[in-house]
Amino acid sequence: MNIETPSVQIVEQEIKRLYNIDVKNVVFLGRSDNVTFRVDTLSGKYLLKLHLGSNSKSMIESELMWLTAINQDTNLKVQSPIKNVDGEFVTTFNVKGNHSFWTLQSWIEGELLQEQPTTQEIEELANLMVTLHEHSTNWSVPESFSRPIFNTEHLLISSEELSTLIQVDVLTSEHYKIFQKVTNKIIPIIDIQDINSNTWGMIHSDLHESNYVLDNGTAYAIDFSCCGFGFYLFDIAETFLHINPDNQNKFIHFYQKKRKLQRDYHEVLEAFFLWQIIRNFALLSKNHEEFEYLSKTIPFVVENFCIKYLDDVRFLLK
């Protein structure tokens, strides 16, 4: 469903009607997977989010359940959901006849990174992920909980979605066949993983430089819209897409100081790293504005990662 982005005037009007807060100003932040606004009040700031990626109220409520539990059970500061005047965390919002779901959450102060993290920042990021994984390991998931599952089916769907790029001359048939071979090699790796509380649980799944902020040297995770059930190594693999090889090694070093990974983590990480690439390319394939980026990036990925993986040549954590 193509939901039109509402004006800040409409948002401000509806916020005043639906929430018990004194709105001073509303600022449009952007539109990607969701539409986001910053709401300024006399007492502080809030994040207002129009959820584009999910038509399921229960999915969004489950995301907020996990955020609430993280806030209650850990020393992490994440975006706490705010109830509306009806006492609900998820608000049904109508824009020109189209209904959508909105949430209001507390604002997390901090700066986004504009360059590669320093060693100290990598340590902070690793500790942040350790805390999330430890919480997930010990958290009892509510019966009504519903979030996406990152499994073999997820990989197969993502791989299939890449085929649409052939029709628009972004992906060659030859390169698509290579991605298919990579997919077929990853599937047995997924299937042989031991699924237990130490390897699998709720993960952020999208923790990169746009989804965590740094405030006085401390890292805080934001935007849990892609959270779901998956392998903890899958979570790490997404972060690896956005940091250089030196920082990848540092990340593993700091992570394992507090939480040991399985013995074959290196081999599994390489497979999951490529799985995350396929996942990201599949998501970008739905956006015409990303076609130029994909055209330039796909050949690099095929040469530097896919072919090496198929030839059993190590490319991560060397």
Is 125 within a domain?
yes
Distance CA 69, CA 131 (A): 13
DSSP string, 46-88: EEEEEE-S---HHHHHHHHHHHHHHHHHSS-----EE--TTS-
Distance CA 77, CA 74 (A): 8
pLDDT tier, 13 (very low <50, low <70, confident <90, very high otherwise): confident
- Tell me which of 275 and 57 has the higher pLDDT: 275
Is 3 within a domain?
no
- Tell me which of 17 and 52 has the higher pLDDT: 17
The tokens 């849990």 sit on which residue? 224
Residue 53 has pLDDT above 80, yes or no: no
pLDDT tier, 296 (very low <50, low <70, confident <90, very high otherwise): very high
Q: Which of 111-115, 157-161, 231-235 has the lowest mean pLDDT?
A: 111-115
pTM > 0.75: yes
Q: Tens digits of per-residue pLDDT, 142-188?
A: 998 999 999 999 999 999 999 999 999 999 999 999 999 999 999 99
> In the structure encoding, which two tokens stand for residue 271, read together?
């497979």
Same domain, 141 and 282: yes
Residue 1's pLDDT is what?
52
User: In this structure, what CATH number is given to the domain that contains residue 27?
Assistant: 3.30.200.20
Mean pLDDT across the stretch 33-47?
A: 91
Distance CA 276, CA 234 (A): 7
Same domain, 30 and 83: yes
Mean pLDDT across the stretch 118-146?
A: 96
Residue 84 has pLDDT above 80, yes or no: yes
Is 262 within a domain?
yes
Same domain, 212 and 163: yes
Question: Of 106, 131, 151, which one is at a domain's C-terminal end?
Answer: 106
Residue 99's pLDDT is what?
77
Q: Minimal CA–CA distance to 51: which of 40, 41, 70, 64?
A: 64
Is 317 within a domain?
no
Q: Tens digits of per-residue pLDDT, 187-220?
A: 999 999 999 999 999 999 999 988 999 998 899 9
Q: Which of 22-26, 178-182, 295-299 has the lowest mean pLDDT?
A: 22-26
> In the structure encoding, which two tokens stand for residue 167, read together?
């029709």
Q: How many domains does the chain have?
A: 2
Is 112 within a domain?
no
Q: Which domain holds residue 44?
A: 8-106
Mean pLDDT across the stretch 81-95?
A: 88
Same domain, 250 and 141: yes
Is 162 within a domain?
yes
Same domain, 211 and 137: yes
Is 230 within a domain?
yes
Is 300 within a domain?
yes
> What rounded mean pLDDT belongs to the chain?
93
Same domain, 123 and 222: yes
Same domain, 83 and 155: no
Same domain, 202 and 268: yes
Residue 309 has pLDDT above 70, yes or no: yes
pLDDT exceeding 70 applies to what percent of the chain? 97
Distance of CA 267 to the CA centre of its chain: 22
